[in-house]
Each structure stands twice: as C-alpha cells, then as structure tokens.
Amino acid sequence: MKKLKPSTLPAKRSKQSLFSYFDLSFLWLAPYFVFAIFFTILSLFLLFTNSLSASSHSLKLVSNSTVLWILIRSIWTSILASIIAVVVALLYLWFTLQITSKIIRNFLIFSLTLPFFIFTISKIWALKGLFLQMFSPDTLNSYWFMILGMVYLNLPLASIPIYGVLRDIPRGLIEASFNLGYGPVPTFFKVVVPYSLKAIFKSFAVVFLTSSMFILVSEKLLPNGEHFTMIANIIYEFTHSFNKYDFSQITLLVVLTLLVLILVCSLCQFLVSVFYSLKNHRSLKLLFGGKHARSVS
Amino acid sequence: MLEALVKKIKSFFLLFVLIFSYLPLVYGFVFSFNSTSRKEAISGITLTLSSEGYVSLINKGIFQPLVNSFLIATIVSIFVGLLALITCFALWWRHNSFNENFVSTTSQVIIINPDIITAIALSILFSTFFGVLKVTEEGFFRLVISYSVIALPYSIFIMLPRSKKFSRSLFEASLDLGYGLASSWFRTYLRHMLPAIFASTFICFIFTFDDFILARIISNASTLGTLLYEQKQLRTWILALGTLLLLFSLTIFWFQEYLAHSKQKQKNGLLNSKHLVNDKLLLLLFFCLILVAWIVFFTLLGVGFSRMDTLALKHELTTQ
C-alpha cells in the first residue's frame, strides 16, 4: 500500500483554513531556533574567539609542563574508566534482556539507572565512606580508586544509549546466528557488538568526556587528592578569577583540552571501527580465524 | 553442561554489578542514622543510632538553598517542558530533514559537552551581552536560563520518540468529531505526551538539584548543589538527602510498575470496570501529590523559620 505523505493530508480536509496556521511550521520551531542559536552556537563561538584573542602572556598556562602531565593523566584514567563502564553496561544489559520474565527484566534495568537520580555528591560521600571502612586513607590515594569512582558514577550514563539499541535488536538475527551454529559467545561478538557499535561509540564519548572533566573525583572522592588533580580542577580554579588575562588563558586551555579530548575520542572510535572492518575483510579472515575461513579463501 | 556454566556466570555477573552499585547506597542509608559529633561531622566508621541527620535537615541553614533550588527547578521545568513540547510538535507536523538535523545536532553538542565548558561559554556570553555579574547580585535568571540550556536537549530526547509515535488519524478523528483545533490538540496530542512531560519534569528537577558547577561559575546564588559542594567533611544530612531521594525514586518506580501491570490486566479483561484506573483520577492524584508536597514544604519552612527565631532569641538572651 502506498503510504500517504503527511504534507498531502491537510489539503484534503475541509478545514483547510484552520490547518494553514500549522503550515507555518517554522514559526513553531522559531523559539527553539532562537534559543539554540543564541545559547549554543553563539556561546561556543564566543568561547573560541575569546581563546584566539589571547596574547603571548596567556600561553604561559598552556605551555606549562605540569598542566600537560595533568592532561595526560586525566585522559588515560578516563579512557580506562569509560572502557570498563561501557563493557560492564553492555554485558549487563545483554544478559538482562535475555531474561524472559518482564518484571525482573524491568527491575534489573531500572536498578542500573536508579543511581543516576541521586545527588552525585552524596553518592561520592557514600562510596568514600564505604571504602574507608575497608582500606586505610593512604591506599585510597591511588589510580585504581579514581577509576573505580569514575566507573561507579558513570555506569548509568553509559547504559542509556546502549539500552535504546539493544532493546530493538531483532530476535530473528540472534536466532539465525544460533541456527548457523554459533554459541552464545560468538553470537555476542559477531552479531550484538557490530549491531550496537554506534551506540557503544556514543556512550563511550559521553562517559569519556564527562569523566575527564570531573571535578569531584580528585577533590571529594580521594582522601587527599592533591597529587591526583584532573584538568577540570585547574580550569575550575582559574574561572573564579575575574582578571582578563587569566580568563583568556583559561579559555585557551579549555578549547585546547576540548580539541584534544575530541581527537582522542574519535581516534579510539576510528581504531575500533578499522579493526571491525578489517576483520570482515577477505584476506584477514584467515588471520582471525572463523568457521568459514577456509571456504572464503 | 556449558550452558549451565554460562547461565551461572551470567547471574553472578548481574549480582556483582548490582552489589557494586548498591552497596554504597546501603552504606549511605545505614550511616544516615549515625549520631554526629559537636561539629556535626561523622567519622563514617563507628555507628551509633540516632535520627540527628534527618532532624538537622529541618533546622539547619539549608532552607534558603532548598527554596532557591525548588524555585529554579519549577521555572526551568515549566519553560523547558513548553519549549520541548512545541518543538516536538512542529517536528511531528512537518517532516523536514533540515529542521530535524538542526535540532538533533544542537542538542547533541550540549549533551556531549562537559558541564564546565558549557558553563564557561555561557558565562562569557552573559558577560558580553548583559555585563559582568556584580558581587551583590544573585544572578537568579542567568541560572534559570543556563539550566534550561542544559536540560532542554535531554527533554527533547525524551519527548521526540514518543511524539513520533503519535498517530495522525487520532488528531483528525478529533477534528471530525467537531472539536476545535486547540481543544483537539489538548485532548489528543497533549494527552499522548503526558508521560514524556512528567519524565522531562523529573529530569529537570534532577539536573537543577544536582548541579553545582553552573551555579558557582555563572551566578552567586546558593542552591542545594553548592551547599553540598561546600561541605568539607562527611555529614549525616548529606547521606540523609541521598537516602530520601532514593526512596522517592523507588516509590515512583513501584507506582509506574503498578500502573503498567493494571493496564495490562485491563487489556486482558482480568479486571472489571470497577478497578479501571481512570486517567482523570490519575491526573487529579498527581496534582494532589504536588499540592501536598508544596504544603509540607511550606510547613517545614515555617517550622524552620520559627526555630531560627527562637534560636536567635535564645542567643540574644544569653548575650544579654
């Protein structure tokens, strides 16, 4: 059956004059357009121009070697944390969606996202208090506790984009994979992961950017986080000074940090997608193995 | 054999993740009943039962921040809800790929940007157009606008999928039955969107209550988030706040699950008409709940102020 185009529907009606009000759809969108152009595009544009107007004085902060080390530290810790968070969320949701009972399934998914709705600071205090029961404060001043805190705080955030895709995965696709002789583990790597790769990238990007720009981890979570400062702490401390030179320094740092983070994030995604596209390539199928490798060659 | 092992591994993994994410919350629940020292800090290691954490929620100086947060959240949720609803309706009415792409890209930019970068960009914008915020000003409306900027994309991402599912024939049937354009919009579209509107309101409240970065960078207003951030030591009322929010979310989940269950039963014909959950009744219940929440809030406010007055009187008497 031919689907009617939505735009043709109102013209057939007798109440055409009434519909003509709705035809000016750009008028309905106008508030959002104004809001988005003014507060999203213009504000980011001003941030970029402000960073470019920096003088030689403002290069001081960016060219500082300790700032560079702090940037590198916040990048590697948050990459590790976001990989762990995405993998845990993916596995959890995949196992949960295989449960047949609807109530248990809903309960499990809800209980993963529930901590998202509680105050971040009270969650941090609770986590810190719990670990202070088990360990001494000196052992908690370490990278593993930082990464654990990031994973704990970002797990609900990582699960939201993945859940949207995994919920809609066609049952037939998985059944076909089982019928072709794959077990549950190869099915996961050959069907589920490639199917939801886009959502995985999205959740990785969100978790990576938020956790690398997290103030609270080194300030509140660690008992003494002076040696574990993140790049966001430096930015946050400098924003309180209303000195014009300081502010241009900080905007330059913010823009450079943002560019570096986006670059690192897209590099990770590029590597994974290259790996997956190469894996499907004919010549490399022999290398990675697979059931039908011989027949392909 | 192998399948049983895989099943065991699966359930173990699910259990492990649940324990990992709920053990701290349980700790917070238990230790929110801890007694406090004179400086109201707790060590978090020894436990002696008392309800001081919940009592100090009432009579500590968290009322002004709470009122601020509540006001901001209310204004933001109304504004964001309206704007997102209008945008989603416009996108539903005319399928225009440019408009849809514009909306999705601008909202994704805000979602992916970390809070602190959005805050700095907005503070530059405000200072160039409205001047630098003075120390004496509170910057209330700057805060409202910046929270709307943060919360609007999430609200649109909640509302848009539901809006796309709205069937055009329902709207036209309402028109054919003789209702006007506006009243049929309210009767069909708005009614279809009600769950999404509630969800977006909830999200707005969460964002405004949780955030402190925007409040500290953009304005001088003291909100609940900034108050929580300023605490240098572990206090029981922080844990008590978290616990209260946890219980609140759990009740909402239970209520929603109950509603879905009863609707399913309705569909299967297991319930007779007496047990049907009326939509109007539900709306009335919701508004009553909001009313009760406001009444409780203001009585608490009154109690707090009266307590503060008596404390001030005592202080005066002792100094005299």
pLDDT in tens, chain B (320 residues): 777 888 888 889 999 999 998 999 888 888 888 776 655 555 555 666 666 777 777 766 677 788 888 889 989 999 999 999 999 988 888 777 888 888 989 988 888 888 888 998 998 899 888 877 777 777 888 899 999 999 999 999 889 988 988 888 888 898 888 888 888 888 888 888 888 888 888 888 888 888 888 888 888 888 888 888 888 877 788 888 888 888 887 887 777 777 777 777 766 665 554 444 555 566 666 666 766 766 666 666 655 555 555 566 666 666 66
Measured CA to CA in angstroms, residue A275 lies from A24, A81, A270, A281, B97 at distances of 48, 21, 8, 10, 32
**B24 chain-A contacts, CB cut-off 8 A:** 123, 126-127, 129-130, 152
Distance from CA of B225 to the nearest CA of A (A): 8
With a cut of 70, say whether residue A101 has pLDDT above it: yes
Nearest to B234 by CA among A133, A237, A115, A153: A133
Gap between the Cα atoms of B14 and B93, Å rounded: 43
Gap between the Cα atoms of B239 and B4, Å rounded: 41
| Interface subset of A 72-101, CB within 8 angstroms of B | 88, 91-92, 95-96, 98
Question: Looking at this predicted complex, what is its ipTM?
Answer: 0.80
Helices A143-167 and A197-212 cross at an angle (nearest 10°) of 150
Residue-wise pLDDT for B11-55, tens only, equals 899 999 999 989 998 888 888 887 766 555 555 556 666 667 777
Q: How far apart, in Å, do the first and last CA atoms of chain B sit?
A: 83
Cβ of A234: how many Cβ atoms within 10 Å? 20
Question: Which amino acid type is present at position B234?
Answer: L
pTM of the model: 0.80
**Touching check for B86 and chain A: CB below 8 Å?**
yes
Nearest residue of chain B to residue A104 (CA atoms)? B257
| Interface subset of A 16-55, CB within 8 angstroms of B | 18, 21-23, 25-26, 28-29, 31-33, 35-36, 38-44, 46-47, 50
Residue-wise pLDDT for A145-199, tens only, equals 999 999 999 999 899 889 988 888 888 888 888 888 888 888 888 888 888 888 8
Nearest to A77 by CA among A124, A19, A125, A142: A142
More confidently predicted of B318 and A100: A100
More confidently predicted of B315 and A88: A88
Q: What is the DSSP string of A180-236?
A: TT--HHHHIIIIIHHHTHHHHHHHHHHHHHHHHT-SHIIIIISTTGGGG--HHHHHH
Q: Could you give the maximum distance between any two Cα atoms of chain B, in Å?
A: 83
Q: What average pLDDT does the structure give for chain A?
A: 80
Contact B168 A152 (CB under 8 A): no
Paired with B34 in beta bridges are B49
